[in-house]
Amino acid sequence: MNNLLIKNVRVVDAKKNLKSDVLVENGKISKIDSNINIENINCIDGKNYVLMPAFIDLHTHLRDPGLTHKEDLESGQKAALKGGFTVLCPMANTKPACDNKETMEYILNKSKELDLCEIKQVCAITKNLEGQEMIDIESMRTYTDLFSDDGYTLHNEKIMKEALELSRNLNFKVLTHCQPEYEIVNRDLKLLKEVGGNLHICHISLKDTLEEIKKYKNEGFKFTCEVGPHHIFGYGLDYKVNPSFAEEEDMKYLIQGIKDGYIDMIGTDHAPHTEEDKKNGSPGISNIEVAFQMVNKVFSENNIKLSKLSEMMSYNPAKLLGLDQGLIEEGLRADLVLVDEEYEESIDTSKFISKGKNNPFNGQRVKGKVLMTIKNGKIMYDIKGDM
């Protein structure tokens, strides 16, 4: 196992902001101290840089199996590492859909062989994501605790209710894709109030939706929600994403909702497509490589601290997934990202590792840069040497 010493770095996570050295041994953070000196160790000079917990994406699309012309497990994970992510939760809308053990095992085994990111694969709730017949959740529960028909809205209220009830009994999360957004969120929160369960609301974009979420959170109901980087970065764009780009008022309300603590995490909803598929109306944005930069720009312009970004992109997702990471603390897994917080550049989709170059913000300025991504104490991405 590679041991690392990161010197003179600013350490930022959801709970701290301090100058220190960080020692990584045997895949874990073993010491955080102001002056650690060890000979014969891979030493990284972190001066003028920030060390944060690596990012965790609760909502991504890797298109493998079946749609590998858009993305595959290797290209998607390498893109993620470049963006500072070490844990991904890929959605089940592959071909065939990930609703059975064969597809699930293919994804998990291939990812294990690649040894890039940690994959927490999401399983479909209904057969072939058709919203008609619930899969055997209990048998798939051995592989995952994340279930979603994302890519499609689960319009069948009876199945949604049953899934929430089961989520309580079998201890798994139901990730809901809501379109029409306000109506489905309203329905799902009513069901949560009625039967309980473990609900996570994907990619919200509207003021009305957030108002509904606030109402239930203020009443003490426990559930989580996410926003995509693009929905706080831009508005009013005629560019097809699900949910659609909203208005400036909606975007500003979401940013305020982040400040007030009502939105729990950032989920990229990285959805790569070929140029041809995009022209033919496929909804989605390729953004996992620039998600941190997009969010960092929005946060810095709205006086939201980097520690809040870390809370939403690392700590809260780690908590939801039950991972021993998400903070920089002795004894936790050394999944870390070294960033230049102040670096500014323009998005250049031609440099994306992802097969998907579909991003409407190509050429726009962003802030921050991932310099290095470390997983289990091992350097997985280094800007100097790329992958």
pLDDT in tens, 300-346: 999 999 999 999 999 999 999 999 999 999 999 999 999 999 999 99
Q: Is 123 helix (H, G, I), strand (E, B) or coil?
A: strand
At residue 167, the pLDDT reads: 98
Distance CA 377, CA 332 (A): 11
pLDDT in tens, 85-134: 999 999 999 999 999 999 999 999 999 999 999 999 999 999 999 999 99
At residue 273, the pLDDT reads: 98
Percent of the chain with pLDDT over 90: 99
The residues assigned a catalytic role are 269
At residue 1, the pLDDT reads: 56
pLDDT in tens, 335-363: 999 999 999 999 999 999 999 999 999 99
2-6, 12-16, 197-201, 264-268: the lowest-pLDDT one: 2-6
> What are the start-end ranges of the H helices in 179-280?
181-195, 207-218, 229-233, 248-259, 275-279
| Amino acid (1-letter code) at residue 84 | G
Token pair 């959170």 is at which residue? 217
Q: For residue 371, report the phi and psi dihedrals to the nearest 5 degrees.
A: -100, -30
pLDDT in tens, 218-272: 999 999 999 999 999 999 999 999 999 999 999 999 999 999 999 999 999 999 9
Q: How confident is the model at residue 385 (pLDDT cuts 50, 70, 90)?
A: confident
**Residue 142 pLDDT more than 90?**
yes
**Residue 387 pLDDT more than 60?**
no
Q: Which residues, 6+ apart, have CB-to-CB distance to 260 below 8 Å? A: none
- Which residue from 340, 336, 334 is spatially nearest to 371, judged by alpha carbons? 340
Please give the C-alpha separations between residue 51 and each of 9, 56, 264, 309, 381, in angstroms, as whole numbers.
6, 15, 22, 13, 14
Residues 333 and 325: beta-carbon distance below 8 Å: yes
319: β partners: none
Q: How confident is the model at residue 175 (pLDDT cuts 50, 70, 90)?
A: very high
297 is written with which tokens?
Answer: 């720009």
**Residue 298 pLDDT more than 60?**
yes
Q: Which residues, 6+ apart, have CB-to-CB distance to 320 below 8 Å? A: 58, 173, 200, 224, 264, 265
Q: Is 367 helix (H, G, I), strand (E, B) or coil?
A: strand
At residue 2, the pLDDT reads: 76
At residue 386, the pLDDT reads: 62
In the chain, helix, strand, coil percent, each to 5? 30, 25, 45
Q: Is 102 helix (H, G, I), strand (E, B) or coil?
A: helix
